[in-house]
Amino acid sequence: MNYRHEFHAGNHSEVFKHALLCALIDRLQLKPKPICVIDTHAGSGLYDLDSSEAARTGEADRGIRLVYPKRTRALQRYLGIVEHFNPDRLKLYPGSPAIIRHLLRDDDRLVACESEAGPAARLKELVEGDSRVAVHQRDGFAAVHAFVPPKERRGLVFLDPPFENPNELALAAEALNAGIRKWPTGVYALWYPIKGRSQIAHVKKLISEDVPTLCVEFLAYAKSQEGLTGSGVVIFNPPWQYEKDVHAICKALLPIFEESGSGYSTEWWVRPR
């Protein structure tokens, strides 16, 4: 599938992955030492929900616009960031680099990578003057090789590819294997879309590195339906007690989509020792 942020900003899969992303960074920041977050497919950072692209799909109406009024405790951190960009009404949706930047402490860093010139330029403009953020126009998977391990030796690699290439999951697995070998204590998170049936079992077979690995899938719609029914995130080296955050977030989302046949699952590919 072709997952372009302009068309899908604020849909149910964005809500799910960004809520999990906030919880991941919060867990990492429980320790005072600085962290580095490497966002491999960053996009432009901020999206207009009133744009023609967003209006064409209407996915935000079945995503963030449904979830935004539901200020449950598990979603409050994430929704508070969305509110920061929307003081009057819900019009803008923050992508992963905008969310990460909002969560950075003074000594934390964000390395944001975007291969396309237009989105990379818009992202550079968005973060201009913030010394904590570096934007690189380059291939996201190659960025894992280039920037791992970061000087902080603590942090997260967030992989959120557009899935334009039919080999994208294989490329993601290759980058993950290389990254984990170079930085075995780092945290890695791979997001992927689900259309009908999940294809993530393919990645499971391709991962050669033996680190604690948690796979989470959230379906906003029953698998029998057409189109994007849900998405998943695989977390390598998840922080201690992060699984509790996962369950809390998913349980908060379930009743919002219950009429559509929502559900979620978690699976430890490799359990912590």
Are 159 and 118 a contacting pair, CB within 8 Å? no
Token code pair at residue 60: 């935000």
Residue 160 known to be catalytic:
yes
Distance of CA 165 to the CA centre of its chain: 19
Q: What stretch of H or E contains 8? A: helix 5-8
- Name the active-site residue from 26, 160, 210, 245: 160
Lookup: tokens for 243: 């699984």
Helices (H), 87-167: 96-103, 117-126, 140-147
The CA-CA-CA angle for residues 31, 32, 33, to 5°, reads 95
Chain-centroid distance of CA 119 in Å reads 17
In which residue are the tokens 């209006």 written? 55
Nearest CA among 28, 49, 27, 40 for reference residue 191: 40
Tell which residue, 86, 158, 114, has the closest CA to residue 4: 114
Give the angle 217-35-47 at the CA atoms, nearest 5°: 55
Residues identified as active-site = 160
